[in-house]
Structure 1
Amino acid sequence: MTGHRSRLCHFVIDCADLDEGVTFWCHALGAVDELIGEPSRQVYRQLRLPDSDVRLLLQKTDDRKTSKERMHLDIETDDVEAEVERLEALGATRWDHQTERGFDFWVMRDPWENEFCVLQTTFPDLLARRTPWPT
């Protein structure tokens, strides 16, 4: 018997409007909407990130958010305030400014109130591979 393989393939984010979700997360992360078959496209949209083999999977739901997420995305940046302002222009909101244990970061919410964090550079070599956002 041969061994099997497994890997993380998706990080799933709930949203009420798939088209708005695609627009927000594609602009926020530089992602590309990948074509998936019908009828799945009515419930899901799959986004390919520019520098990862993990995909974001947007899942349509009308369920209201009721508590803090148990999982979330962290976005690293070399300019926290500039990134927060860019994401606000896309529809995100500031939720909680954290300054603890030598870190200074923002907990943000996407337009559907899903939390994600914007923090200072954690992996400088990987961040250096990204093309800067236009100013």
Structure 2
Amino acid sequence: MTNHRSRLCHIVIDVDDLDRGVTFWSAALDATEEPLAEQSRHIYRRLRLPDSDIRILLHATNDQKVSKERIHVDLETDDIEAEVQRLEMLGATRWDYQHERDHDFWVLRDPWGNEFCVLHVEFPELLSRRPTWPSDQS
């Protein structure tokens, strides 16, 4: 085996409408779309997060969601209810409120039914680097 390097580069999210996926996830994560080769844009769109070198890769599919995801995105926040309401305004829906091991969090679904979680702060030093969201995004 030769010496090599590897790292996590994408978190992939299935959507059936790439333009709507870019709109929703860009607003939800304060991400910006990165250019992709034209021959790939009908299947993929890539988003750059403001505070990470990991990218979100949106993947176009018409496959129906049939069960729980095995990989999902967690968003941390200092105000769960305010963040859930902001995401609902973008098109997310509340799915399940959880209380596990002394942690409260919401499981939401994006407009395609993909589950993701909104948690209390896990990494305060990283969250403190992010700007605050406006209290009224209407």
Where on the TM-score scale, by shorter chain, does this alignment land: which range?
Answer: over 0.9
What is residue 65 of structure 1 aligned with on the other side? 65
Task: Work out the CA distance in 1 between the residues paired with 2:10 and 2:72.
Answer: 12
What is residue 42 of structure 2 aligned with on the other side? 42
> How many residues are paired up?
135
5 Å matches for 1:51-62?
A: 51-62=51-62
CA shift at 1:111, angstroms? 0.2
Task: Work out the CA distance in 2 between the residues paired with 1:17 and 1:124.
Answer: 34
Task: Work out the CA distance in 1 between the residues paired with 2:100 and 2:55.
Answer: 30
5 Å matches for 1:7-86?
A: 7-86=7-86
CA shift at 1:131, angstroms? 0.5
Q: Which runs of 5+ in 1 are unaligned?
A: none
Task: Work out the CA distance in 1 between the residues paired with 2:118 and 2:56.
Answer: 17
CA RMSD of aligned residues (A): 0.9
CA shift at 1:3, angstroms? 1.2
TM-score of the superposition, structure 2-length normalised?
0.96
Task: Work out the CA distance in 2 between the residues paired with 1:34 and 1:80.
Answer: 29
Q: Which runs of 5+ in 2 are unaligned?
A: none
CA shift at 1:2, angstroms? 5.6
Q: What do residues 25-74 of structure 1 show as CA deviations (whole Å, max 9, x unaligned)?
A: 00000000001011101100000000000000000000010000001000
Letter of the aligned partner of 2:117 in structure 1? Answer: C
What is residue 112 of structure 1 aligned with on the other side? 112
Task: Work out the CA distance in 1 between the residues paired with 2:37 and 2:85.
Answer: 35
What is residue 130 of structure 2 aligned with on the other side? 130
CA shift at 1:134, angstroms? 1.0
Identity of aligned residues (%): 67
CA shift at 1:100, angstroms? 2.0
